[in-house]
């Protein structure tokens, strides 16, 4: 014979896995071609010179060099580029 009544259900108890988004290489840091610079949702940062964009809006280096973050245009937008060193 059971000594406990049936437990009620709950609508909580879920959590999504971490996505590890954000800037991976900061301004002035050296990168090799293919290195990920920013993992993001949407285009918080846009691709400048020598930077490619992945399917999930990840920005990555297309050539070796140093990372540079800058504000350009009107309205001001954040661009990430790689300057050849």
Dump pLDDT digits (tens) for 37-63: 999 999 999 999 999 999 999 999 999
CB 59 within 8 A of CB 81: no
Report angle CA 29, 82, 39 to the nearest 5 degrees: 75
The residue written with tokens 């059971």 in the block is 2
Query: What is the three-class DSSP state of 39?
Result: strand
Instruction: State residue 6's pLDDT score.
Output: 80
Report angle CA 82, 84, 85 to the nearest 5 degrees: 120
Distance of CA 4 to the CA centre of its chain: 48
Percent of the chain surpassing pLDDT 90 = 87
Please report the domains of the chain, with CATH numbers, ordered by start residue: 22-83 (2.40.50.100)
């Amino acid at each position: 014979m059971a000594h406990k009544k049936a437990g009620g259900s709950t609508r909580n108890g879920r959590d999504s896995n971490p996505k590890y988004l954000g800037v991976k290489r900061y301004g002035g840091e050296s990168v090799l071609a293919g290195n990920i610079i920013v993992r993001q949702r949407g285009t918080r940062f846009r691709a400048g010179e020598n930077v490619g964009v992945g399917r999930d809006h990840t920005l990555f280096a297309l050539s070796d060099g140093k990372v540079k973050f800058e504000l350009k245009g009107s309205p001001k937008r954040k661009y990430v580029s790689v300057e050849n060193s």
